[in-house]
Amino acid sequence: MTEPDLDLDLAAVGIGPFNLALTALADEVPELRFAAFDRRERYDWHPGLMFDWASLQVGFLADLVSLIRPTSRWSFLNYLVEHDRMYPFYIAERFHVPRREYADYCAWAAARLPGCHFGVDVTEVTWDEAAERWVLTLREVATGTVSTRRARHLVLGVGTEPALPEPLRRLAGEASGQRVFHSGEFLHRIDAVAEAGARSVTVVGSGQSGAEVFLDLLRRQRDAGWALNWLTRSWGFAPLDYSKLVLEYTTPAYMRYFNALPPATRDRLIASQWQLYKGIDTETIDLIHQELYDHLLDGDRPPVTLLPATAVRGADLADGGTASADGGTASADGGTASADGGAIRLTTWHADTEREAVLATDAVIAATGYAARRPDCLAPVEKLIAWDEHGRYDVSEGHRVATVPEVTGGLFVQNAELHTHGAAAPDLGIGAYRSALILNAVAGRDVFRIPRSTAFQTFGSPGSPGSPAGPPATPPATPPAGG
């Protein structure tokens, strides 16, 4: 066991944008003993979707620190100063910066923040009741060296994992000869698909990543010569709602209101508010439409088919392998394939006509989103954590997970609370705010000023926690750093 003087006040597992924001703000609290660990060798944000032309969907102020501490040396503007790009950025007047620039900014901060420890895998977390500390088992990825570190509080920022519908999950990877894969791997896999001579490619899913993948495939079509299909089970290829009053649903004010609602109400609202976080930005939709118009002008390109209200119910290989939703073999039942001889046959269901059909294709890219995951390192303490009836974290307004009484240390989560905090949970614009709440709770004092007024709307009745006149989201007091 480590010596007490090496104990941390706060340990973070995973270094994505949100725990990186936590690390950047923690760097401004010199008395705080803090460390963040990630098994990767370096920071790398969605490399499989890092298109040169893609822009961030939120403004540059949604960086690691600015919405809480704009004077921080870890701000995006200071990154521009250090790279001598401030005047070109000023002239460009770009509120939404290129995604690759945001990724480089995060990598710049991650490489310089002393609290970031890459190449260190947290393999196990336990609770030492006598010492009132979390105990982290750490393994150096490069050497295999194992050590332990104790921390008074723990925050999980392990991110989400690719989600595939069951029929496609069974065909993903080697089962389909790498012809079925998640959109997160797109840029790593698409060249091999082209080199294999795919005659048709199908994209499933119509969020932002699905739209960007489809646009890239469309732009490659002249050289690759493939037919394209784009399916979504949604009613249409719908835009994100960027209207100003709707955007207030991603503010701390709405997040506090949402957290106070009954769980069943929260689940209903999340399902109905999908255009807050699952739609396509209008700029990308316009680019797709322009490309489709050029497709008409060319006149000799392979076909392009867009299919809204169309869900994938089953999938099988042309050589007889199956992967259907009910475990059986997918059948056409009167449907017709759109590309004869494709290596993969998708059984589809149209929501409006209630008709089944078969779509044959040579490759499938599943832009079907990401799902929260429970990290393996928590296995030893799962029984100490309060889970809801769906096996999800029970998370308070201050992003603290409920635990059994004997666990006196805080357990916090970042981007694992969509079900308790609403559409703001995965939004980059909430990263600095959430990290400030956590750090204030750990320090036992207001190290960072929490903004009181974040929305013009009153969510709930006047004076409720979600209203502008309501109280700020002050975290509950905990033993101060070093306690």
In order of 6, 7, 141, 151, 236, the CA distances from 2 in angstroms are 7, 7, 20, 10, 56
Question: 35 or 170: which carries more pLDDT confidence?
Answer: 35
- Return the H-helix or E-strand segment holding 77: helix 76-82
According to the model, what pLDDT value does residue 5 have?
59
How high is the mean pLDDT of the chain?
A: 90
Q: Is the pLDDT of residue 232 over 60?
A: yes
Q: Is the pLDDT of residue 415 over 90?
A: yes
Average pLDDT for residues 300-317, to the nearest whole number?
A: 94
- Cα of first residue to Cα of last residue in the chain, in angstroms, is 18
The secondary structure of residue 97, as a DSSP letter, is -
Distance CA(195)–CA(44), nearest Å, equals 26
Average pLDDT for residues 201-230, to the nearest whole number?
A: 96
Banded pLDDT at 101 (limits 50, 70, 90): very high
Question: 475 or 228: which carries more pLDDT confidence?
Answer: 228
- List, in order, residues 6 or more apart from 33 with CB less than 8 Å away: 7, 8, 9, 10, 481, 482
Banded pLDDT at 337 (limits 50, 70, 90): very low
Whether the CB-CB separation of 359 and 186 falls below 8 Å is answered with: no
Q: Is the pLDDT of residue 212 over 90?
A: yes
DSSP strand pairing (34-38 vs 8-13): parallel
Tell me the H-state helices in 83-185.
86-92, 99-112, 166-171
Q: Which residues pair with 148 in a beta bridge?
A: 137
Q: Is the pLDDT of residue 469 over 60?
A: no
φ, ψ dihedrals at 475, nearest 5° = -70, 155
According to the model, what pLDDT value does residue 471 have?
41
Burial of residue 47 (CB within 10 Å: 0-12, 13-18, 19+) is: exposed
Q: Is the pLDDT of residue 327 over 50?
A: no
Q: Is the pLDDT of residue 333 over 90?
A: no
DSSP assignment of 281-347 equals: -HHHHHHHHHHHHHHHHH--SPPEEEETTEEEEEEEETTS-EEETTSS----TT---SSTT-SEEEE
The string of pLDDT tens digits covering residues 5-43 is 589 999 999 999 999 999 999 999 999 999 999 999 999
Q: What percent of the chain has pLDDT over 70?
A: 90
The string of pLDDT tens digits covering residues 263-307 is 999 999 999 988 888 889 999 999 999 999 999 998 888 999 999
The string of pLDDT tens digits covering residues 109-125 is 999 999 999 999 999 99
Q: Is the pLDDT of residue 329 over 90?
A: no
Q: What percent of the chain has pLDDT over 90?
A: 82
Burial of residue 150 (CB within 10 Å: 0-12, 13-18, 19+) is: buried
Distance CA(172)–CA(174), nearest Å, equals 7
Distance CA(31)–CA(161), nearest Å, equals 34
3-state secondary structure of 156: strand
Q: What domains can be seen in the chain, in order of their start residue?
A: 8-159+373-443 (3.50.50.60), 162-240+278-320+339-366 (3.50.50.60)
Lowest mean pLDDT among 51-65, 92-106, 327-341, 438-452: 327-341
According to the model, what pLDDT value does residue 340 have?
44
Distance CA(457)–CA(245), nearest Å, equals 8
Average pLDDT for residues 57-81, to the nearest whole number?
A: 97
Average pLDDT for residues 466-470, to the nearest whole number?
A: 48
Lowest mean pLDDT among 152-156, 355-359, 470-474: 470-474
